[in-house]
Structure 1
Amino acid sequence: MINSEKKKKPIGKKILKWFSVIAIILVIVLVSIPYLFKDKIVQMVSNTINNNVHANVTFKDADLSLLKNFPLVSLTVKDLAIANKSPFVGDTLFNAQTLSLDMKIMELFKKENEPISIKSITSNNGNINIIFDKKGNGNFDIAKENNEKTDTTSDSSFSLNIDEYSLENINFYYIDRSTNTKLSLSKINHIGKGNFAEDIFNLDTKTTAVLSFDLDKTNYINNVNISLDAVLGIDLKNSKYTFKENTGFINQLPLKFNGFIQLVDENQFYNLSFKTPTSSFKNALALLPKQYAGNLNTIKTEGNFEINGIVKGTLSENTIPAFDINITSKNALFKYADLPKSVKNININSKIINKTGSVKDTYVFINKLNFKIDEDQFSANGSIKNVTTNPNINIAAKGTINLANIGKVYPASLKKELAGILNANISTKFDMNSVEKGNYEKIKNSGKISMSNFKYEGNDVANPFFIDKTSVSFNSNSIKLNEFEAKTGTSDLSIKGNLNNFYGFIFKDEVLKGNFNLSSNNLIVADFVDAESSSKEENTTTSSLKIPSFLEVKLNANAKKVVYDNINLNNVSGNLFIKNETVELQNLKSDIFGGNIAFNGTINTQETTSKFKMDLDLQQLNIGDSFSTLNMLKSIAPIAKTVDGKINSKITLSGFLNEDMTPDLKTISGNLFGKLLNPKLNSNNSKVLSLLNNKVDFLNFDNLNLDGINGVFSFDKGLVTVKPIPLTYKDIKIEIGGTHGFDQSMNYDIIFDVPVKYLGSEVTNLISKLTPKDAASIKSIPVKGTLKGSFTNPNFSSNLKDATNTLIKDLVAKQKANLLNQGKNKLLDLIGNKTTKKDTTKQNNTTNKVKDVLGGLFGKKKKN
């Protein structure tokens, strides 16, 4: 036993050793083979693509792996793109983040001229774009003809022997530019399994996607979830594909298919039928998007709802399969378990038919559609003929709906209940050719829609919104708003008018025109704006108000009282013209601040930043109220708030608007002319005037005469230039001019013409000693002052002291000159007299007088 055990141990070690060696060799092979064959496979991929397609094909890289789907070899092409050539230059037929091909390992050892058999294909994160141009050419037609292929011995270096394929997160887009048709299947996830090596086999598929459909700029299906689990019978010899076991869903509506599709020559033959597997009315609600349908598990239904159809015929360049699709319901009812009311007496009878296979012979009939909620009944019927050529539309609707019942029968996501009674009795009949050509007289419309006691509450309005009554009537081309009486908060509105070119707007993207009269007794802007929402918007990025480009409306407004922010406007009237994304104001007038104001101008929202241009005419406005309340006027003339009285003013200005449609003061420019009427200054309200009163002894600004004074201001980008304004205080003339900024900074020059009597006794005494002629020539002196700093922290300086000293020096010089002239005259008189025979006493007296005069001119000055 001992010897046998000893012999086994070396054998076990040898087996383990050889197993380890083989494992290492296998790992080396698994890792190295991809590198050995990668270039070969990449070359095959490139040759296969380039030999078979007319397109620009690019890919970033290709990887070969034995580990990904062992024992199969996986070839993964990254960032594959197939871009079209003419006539679809710039369009991409197909692109994918990855495209993976799986094959047996022995396929790698085949010769270059032997095709490689592919077992499975997987593609993810890509797009497929099928496009038809206006001439009917398709961008998918990129295959080369046989005589164009560079390798005539074989069509491809690959052959398909697929067992499985899959698409993960693929988007499919179908675009027909001739009919302006767009169909999209987004977020496609599809798996197919079958033995493609056989001529006849079953293909097991699972598909989910999101469907959207647009025709001529109108969206008919928007992001509808669809799915199909189907076993298809594949007959490759006869190109026939038959529906076997299958279940499909449109949203939550189930459908089952029977029949087949067969390729015949270059056409496709359809012989299909489909229907709802059950007839429960739940099927109708299942057509609604899941988030709107509510809990269908708890809903009670009666009656039926069925969709069934037949599609049979050939799809070719000139024909489509004939079809007959029926949607019916009889005496149905539905009631949600947690809601108090039900919808009953539901009857639906509608068809979509094409019996000839000609596209133009497609018809839609709504023979009956009616329902009842409580005692309110509603019914409609209509048809659309010649759907694809010249649609003829004929629709009529009649009934009453109590809006308060909507939330009681359907789980609508309304935070606040609606209220109001809607009555409708309308009909319309027209064809699209008449609309396209503008022959609106061929459009036959009649009827009326009215609503009363409507109430709406929500977070998007500041107060509950009430419509007491409104009615709209229809005729061939216009919609007439007969009445609209509404209230919210303490505000009231009344609107009447017409909308013109309604059908051109709906069907041809033409301008919607209108003419309305608006009146109100009390219009408080805050009643229409939610303060909480506004405060939230201040902390977020908001968009500037944009006037729709499709709107061309005239609005005649008349309101007894309008309150905007803290501004009260009375007797507001005027016209507003809306056109080309611009509002034009004409003859807009209002009583405000004890006077009235008139507006003319424009507000243009065509560009990213809105701009305005305005002419204002202010008459008899209270100066203090208007220039302290309106930010714009406050910035242009901040000193005006200290003035009591009235003003007449004309203002022209332009600039950009902020997002809340108020003027951006940093951008405005223009001019202001103002005339003061019976004004009175109150220097206590201004640091500037208080400073001037303290610095200039001879001036009291409270007594300044401003009556009839004109002021001319020009402003641009935050800087105001004031043309020199002449003022008078008693017999003192003043001129003030300069600049100030909207930031309250200032730089003003003030020139005072100061009578000499205000300069003190020293000056007046000197003047009194001048000759009458010299004294009369010196009445006043100019004094220059500067006012700088800001309106809240002003600085004032002047040359009053220097001007006074200069005047005194001039007066002294004049006095000396006068005395000197007097002395010269005395000397001449003395020298000219005869000195003979005079007595000694008289001669001595004369000598003393001369000494006195000379002493006065050159001796010590007298104190003044």
Structure 2
Amino acid sequence: MKKVLLIIVLLFVVLLGSAILVPVLFKGPLLAKISRTINKNLNAKVEFEDFSLSIFKGFPKIQAELTGLTITGKNQFEEDTLLAVQSVSTNLSLSDLFNSEQMAINTIRLDRAKLYLLSTLDGLANWDIAKDSGSESSTEAAQSTLNLSLQSIELRNFSLTYKDEATTTVVQLKNATADASGQVEGTVTTFNLSSEIDEFVLEYDSVQYISKTRLKAVSQLTADYDKMVFTFGDSHLFLNDLPLDLTGRFEMPSDSMYFDLKLIQPQSNFKSLLALVPQTYQSYLDDVKANGDAGFEANIKGWFYDDNYPAIDSRLYIANADFQYQDFPEKVSQIALESSISKPQGELDLLQIEISQAHAQIRNNPVDLKLLLTQPMSDPAFDASLNGKIDFTSLGKVIPMDSIRLSGVVQGNVRLKGTLSAVEAQDFSRINSNGTFTLDKVHIETPQLSQTVELNSGSVKIDNQQIAVSSFNAKTGQSDFTLNGQLSNYLPYFFTNKTLKGSFNLQSNYLNLDELANIMVEDTVETTSAGDSIMAFHVPGNLDLSFRSNIKRATFDRMNIENIEGVILVKNQMLQLQKLDMNMLGGQLTIDGNYVNNEANQPDFDFNVNINAFEIPAAYQSFPTMQRYAPIASKSSGKISSQFKFKGKLNEALELMPSSLNGAGLLSTQSLQIVNSPTFDQIKNFVKKEKLQNVKINDFTSNFKLENGNLLVNPFTTRIADQDVTISGKVLVDQTLDLALDFNVNKDDLASDILKTLSYIPGSSNIAKLDVGVAVTGQMKSPKVALDLSKAKDQIANEFKKSSQEEIQKSVKKLGDELKKLFK
């Protein structure tokens, strides 16, 4: 027992000593060897956060681990991280550590690696970082650095992004895992490969053609490192759940590569092919009965070097197929597809994509499609046609519509043939585009819409130069539309993102703008945003559209609007209104102006507004700007007219930002009357009370300015409660008042106690009107009113001085305390 305990203690001491001594003795030399190997083989900047050796993690071997490894290119790629790995590790034996000149790595593990491959427009690649094999430094490195003889590779949480700027192609592998283990026989290693990719993405010209596609591979790969020949043995691939068998080989004898690979679908039936549907949508196929033949096969054979690519011959076909959902009465039948992607050995411009047949039908409603794409690199040529009829009522008996209800018929045909160069040059002699589509009683009802949309009729005609829309008649909720017009330059718009031009006439008997503004049902899912949903919008820059409206009646925010006529332009990222006329609020409104958004999502606007004879109470209820600057209008009657030009900014909810407002204009009134105003009630001590119950204000015209949200009123004269008055002042952006009302009060309209006092003053009979100043200050909601009688005192004093000595003596006894009351 003592011997056993002693052995255990000795083993523990040896292990503990090794755990302490190995990192101390070997970390420095090994780290130097790694750095020397990297620096002498790579033209790149290599950094890592830490390097460690552990005897326990890889026991009985020693685990070497680099953490936080990054490889960054040089020159134009110095800002691009080629590779970032959280952890790179391998296992080494003690003999490897002692025999440093012959040290070899045959296993490697990478955890959370991100690889970014970039090929630029001028043909440079960021992964071209290896030094010339014939250089002196690389030769020296081969003699004194690490050797790779991999027999085991493990990848965990691996991501790859490949971007080719010349072909606008992006390939992504997300959250991939891979295991490869092999047996070495001389220069030949046989690997057993197992890998799985959660998501495969293929993007071309900013359009994702493949996404949310899961890949899986189980393969046997024989690698002859001496001849650089790699041969696939028993290999199986899975695209989502579609199985594919892979056979063949590829070689890398020099800078070129040779391929001889074949892919084939082992199960030639339509049900298997449906596995290509992305995993996200597979649940929709759970209850589908599918019949018919289908298959996929592809051959890749030839050399790859420079711009020379191997030959491709692939075929995807479907024949005599149909599918039907369980418990649904109808099915999609006579499904047929014959398609291919092919090219001979040579440049990519020889690639040809063809759909020679694509057919399906529901009952007696067929849909046919054909497509041919050639010359994709030099001058893409296309020849496509679509012909069919869709009865939405029948469609709803074939596929699950969830809560969407559709009915009606759409039918038509279209043919498009030409080249991209012809589209760009707008050479319509080399383009063949024609077709027609008709809509008949199409009804759309969905939870995303608050109202049913009814497209009662419509006709679309397509030719080389335009898409003409005629007799487009629609209704949603209480609103009806009739739309006619045309779109031009549509081919350059769709193919090369050029400007889409169009002109339309919109007619309506009635529009409920409140319904239309809320036709999209708000998402009830809670968001992190604390405010309301954003309403500000950006106008696309590649649109040049005009809409001429003729709307007999509309309602908006409880306002009745009639005879809306004018032009709305969408152009230069701007929404423009041109002479938009309408009758509303008992008068007429004309608006000219524009709206344009910015990066801050705070749109700028610049409007000319002409208001003619608006009813004041209704205008106050309808316009927040009037509520802000003229709250007294809430207790007013009469009409207002105004002409003004102003500009400013809106916030994300399309609300005015007051401090941004600048402009000028004039305001005039007709039959203005203010009822029970607290402001005028505060001057009742010098004007008869009955004059202030319903204050009548004579018609006037006032000029005003807006400066950074401050309303500046130029002096103007009118009559208030039958008294002459001059008004001036300002309403500040913080809704602070600073107004002056200089009254010239008729002596007979003065308060009775003032009249009584004046009767004692010699010369008062000569006074017809008395100058009284009123200052209105403070906050708009609770203004303060102060009287200024200094001018009135001067008037009385001047008339008193003109009186005779006899008149003064007769009146002096009567004045007494009355004078004190007046001038206290």
Normalising by structure 1, we get a TM-score of 0.87
Partner of 2:663: 670
Which residue number corresponds to residue 451 of structure 2? Answer: 463
Displacement of 1:126 after TM fit?
2.1
SS at structure 2 position matched to 1:555 = strand
Aligned equivalents of 1:451, 1:615: Cα separation in 2: 40
C-alpha spacing 1:192/1:150, structure 2 compared with 1 (3 Å): closer
User: Which residue of structure 1 lines up, in the alignment, with residue 361 of structure 2?
Assistant: 372
Offset of residue 814 of structure 1: 4.4
Which amino acid is the alignment partner of residue 271 of structure 1? D
Q: How does 1:628-639 map to 2 (within 5 A)?
A: 628-639=621-632
The verdict on how the C-alpha distance between 1:153 and 1:259 changes in structure 2, with shifts beyond 3 A counting, is closer
Q: Which moved more, 1:719-728 or 1:474-483?
A: 719-728
Describe the shift of the 1:63–1:784 C-alpha distance in structure 2 as closer, same or farther (beyond 3 A). same
Q: Does 1:661 align with 2:654?
A: yes
* Alpha-carbon offset, residue 46 of structure 1: 0.4
Q: How does 1:817-856 map to 2 (within 5 A)?
A: 817=805
Give me the identity figure in percent: 24
Question: TM-score by structure 2 length?
Answer: 0.91
Q: Which moved further from structure 2: 23-32 or 571-580?
A: 23-32
Q: Give the one of 561, 564, 573 matched to 1:569.
A: 561
Q: Sort the Cα spacing of 1:234 and 1:342 in 2 relative to 1 into closer, same or farther, 3 A.
A: same
The match for 2:590 is 598
8 Å contact kept, 2:456–2:474: yes
3-state SS in 1 of match to 2:140? coil
| C-alpha contact 2:506 2:549 (8 A) present in aligned 1 | yes
Deviation by residue 1:393-438 (Cα, 9 ceiling, x = unmatched): 11111111122444543346x4323323121211110112212333
Tell me the alpha carbon deviations over residues 235-277 of structure 1, each in whole angstroms, 9 at most, x when there is no partner. Answer: 3333222221121112222111122112233322222222111
Which of 312, 317, 324 does residue 335 from structure 1 map onto?
324
State the one-letter code of the partner of 1:577.
L
The 5-angstrom pairing of residues 257-272 of structure 1 reads 257-272=246-261
Structure 2 distance, partners of 1:815, 1:295, is: 106
**Matching of residue 122 in structure 1 with residue 113 in structure 2:** no
Change in Cα spacing, 1:753 to 1:319, as seen in structure 2 (3 Å) is closer
Alignment correspondent of 2:303: 314
2:687 aligned residue: 696
In the alignment, the residues of structure 2 paired with residue 308 and residue 374 of structure 1 have an alpha-carbon distance, to the nearest angstrom, of 31
2:265 is the counterpart of 1:276: yes
Is 1:289 the counterpart of 2:278? The answer is yes
Task: Classify 1:64/1:860 alpha carbon distance in 2 versus 1 (closer, same or farther; 3 Å).
Answer: closer
**What is the aligned partner in structure 1 of residue 69 from structure 2?**
80
Q: Is the 8 A contact 1:269 1:312 kept in 2?
A: yes
Cα distance, 1:105–1:562 mapped onto 2, change above 3 Å:
farther
Match of 1:687 among 671, 678, 694: 678
Q: 1:812 to 1:431 in 2, by over 3 A?
A: closer
Structure 2 contact 699–718 (Cα < 8 Å) conserved:
no
Whole-angstrom distance in 2 between the partners of 1:456 and 1:640: 45
Instruction: Give the distance between the partners of 2:807 and 2:697, measured in 1 at CA.
Output: 45
3-state secondary structure, aligned to 2:227: coil
Q: 2:755 aligns with which of 760, 784, 799?
A: 760
Q: Give the distance between the partners of 1:390 and 1:153, measured in 2 at CA.
A: 48
- Output one character per residue of 1:612-671: Cα deviation in whole Å (capped at 9) or x when no partner: 111111112222321333111232322234333223211222111132324334432323
Q: CA deviation at 1:816?
A: 5.7
Between the aligned partners of 2:321 and 2:812, the Cα distance in structure 1 is: 129
Runs of 5+ consecutive residues of structure 1 not aligned to the other structure: 1-11, 821-855
1:509 and 2:509 aligned: no
Higher mean C-alpha deviation, range 474-483 or range 749-758 = 749-758
1:314-371 deviation line (CA, Å, top 9, x unaligned): 2222422222211112111122324332211111111222234443322222111111
Q: Does 1:445 align with 2:433?
A: yes
The correspondence of residues 186-265 of structure 1 with structure 2, limited to 5 A, is: 186-196=174-184, 198-209=186-197, 210-265=199-254
8 Å Cα contact 1:756/1:764 also seen in 2: no
Find the aligned partners of 2:471 and 2:102 in 1 and give their Cα distance. 79
Residue 131 (structure 1) aligned to one of 97, 101, 118:
118
538, 549, 552: which one pairs with 2:541?
Answer: 549
Q: What corresponds to 1:62 in structure 2?
A: 51
Please name the residue that 1:179 is paired with: 167
Partner of 1:850: none
SS in 1 for 2:533: coil
Q: Which residue of 2 aligns with 1:15?
A: 4
- Count of aligned pairs: 805
My pick for the range that moved more, 244-253 or 759-768, is 759-768
Shift in CA distance, 117/863, structure 1 to aligned 2, threshold 3 Å: closer
What is the distance in 2 between the residues matched to 1:725 and 1:670?
19
Tell which structure's C-alpha radius of gyration is larger: 1
DSSP-derived class of the 1:624 partner: helix
Q: Quick one: structure 1 residues 70 and 750, their matched pair in 2 at CA, closer, same or farther if it must change by over 3 Å?
A: same
Q: Which one of 5, 20, 25 corresponds to residue 36 of structure 1? A: 25
The residue identity in structure 1 corresponding to 2:317 is T
User: How far 1:699 moved relative to its partner?
Assistant: 7.3
Alpha-carbon offset, residue 85 of structure 1 = 1.5
| Contact 1:349/1:369 (8 A) holds in 2 | yes
Q: Which residue of 1 aligns with 2:617?
A: 624
Structure 1 counterpart SS, 2:281: helix
Matched residue, 2:820: none
Tell me the amino acid that sits aligned with residue 548 of structure 2.
Answer: N
- CA distance in 2 between partners of 1:387 and 1:766 (Å): 104
Residue deviations 1:367-402 (CA, integer Å, cap 9, x gap): 111112122111122311223332221111111112
Q: Of the candidates 423, 426, 429, which is equivalent to residue 417 of structure 2?
A: 429
What does 1:601-612 correspond to in 2, within 5 Å? 601-608=593-600, 609-612=602-605
* Superposed CA offset, 1:784-819 (max 9, x none): 22223445434323244x666666665555446467
Measured in 2, the distance between the counterparts of 1:763 and 1:493 equals: 71
* Residue 708 to residue 203, structure 1, CA distance change in 2 (3 Å): same
- How far 1:155 sits from its partner (Å)? 4.6
- 1:793-832 aligned at under 5 Å gives the runs 793-800=782-789, 813-815=801-803, 817=805
User: What is the aligned partner in structure 2 of residue 489 from structure 1?
Assistant: 477
Compute the displacement of 1:167 (Å). 1.6
1:708-748 alpha-carbon deviations (Å, 9 max, x no partner): 31122323444322222312368742222222346654232
Q: Tell me the residue number matched to 2:741.
A: 750
Look up the SS of the partner of 1:303 in the other structure.
strand
Identify the match of residue 519 of structure 1 among 504, 507, 526: 507
Q: Is the 8 A contact 1:162 1:196 kept in 2?
A: no
> In the alignment, residue 514 of structure 2 is paired with which amino acid?
A
Aligned mates of 1:127, 1:107 — CA distance in 2: 29
Match of 1:477 among 454, 465, 480: 465
Superposed CA offset, 1:649-695 (max 9, x none) = 11222111132324334432323412222x141422x2223333466
Alignment RMSD, CA only?
2.8
Equivalent residues of 1:130, 1:140 under 8 A apart: yes
Letter in 1 for 2:31: V
Q: Distance in 1 between matches of 2:643 and 2:331?
A: 65
CA contact (8 A) 1:680 1:702 kept: no
Post-superposition CA distance 1:552-597 (Å, at most 9, x none): 2111111111222222211111111111221111000000011111
Report the AA paired with residue 683 of structure 2: L
Provide structure 2 residue ranges, at least 5 long, that are not aligned to the other structure.
817-824
Distance change in 2, residues 1:731/1:767 (3 Å): farther
Cα distance in structure 1, aligned partners of 2:359 and 2:806: 119
Kept after mapping to 2: 8 A contact 1:35/1:64: no
Q: Counterpart of 1:152 in 2: which secondary structure?
A: helix
> Contact (CA 8 Å) 2:696, 2:722: kept in 1 or not?
no
Which residue pairs with 2:137 in the alignment? 149
2:682 is aligned with what amino acid? L
Question: Match for 1:715: what amino acid?
Answer: L
Query: Could you tell me which residue of structure 2 aligns to residue 5 of structure 1?
Result: none
User: Residue 157 of structure 2 corresponds to which residue in structure 1?
Assistant: 169
Which amino acid in 1 is paired with 2:603?
A: S
